Amino acid sequence: MIHLLAEIYGSIQGGLGCLGAAIGVGLVGMKGAEAVGRNPDASGKILVQAIIGMALAEAVAFYAIFLNNTAP
């Protein structure tokens, strides 16, 4: 029974980590599109910053999944 509860808890942890990453990527994309709409000439610089922000947000999902799989 304890093993089943541990698996359920790990799945919830991984799911919430991925949900947080999805929300972060969505916010970065939304604000990047908004910034390009305000200043189209700076789209190259905005794209670079948006990609870096999305990569950092996606790292949260990887941490949640990898730490979930390494738990005893």
Print pLDDT tens along the chain (72 aa): 877 777 777 778 888 888 989 999 999 999 999 999 999 999 999 999 999 999 998 888 888 888 766 655
Q: Cα(18)–Cα(65) distance, rounded to whole angstroms?
A: 8
**pLDDT at residue 63 in the model:** 83
Q: What is the domain-level CATH number for residue 32?
A: 1.20.20.10
CB atoms within 10 A of CB 20: 14
**pLDDT at residue 8 in the model:** 74
pTM above the 0.85 mark? no
Q: How many domains, the chain?
A: 1
**pLDDT at residue 2 in the model:** 75
Range of the domain at 50: 2-70
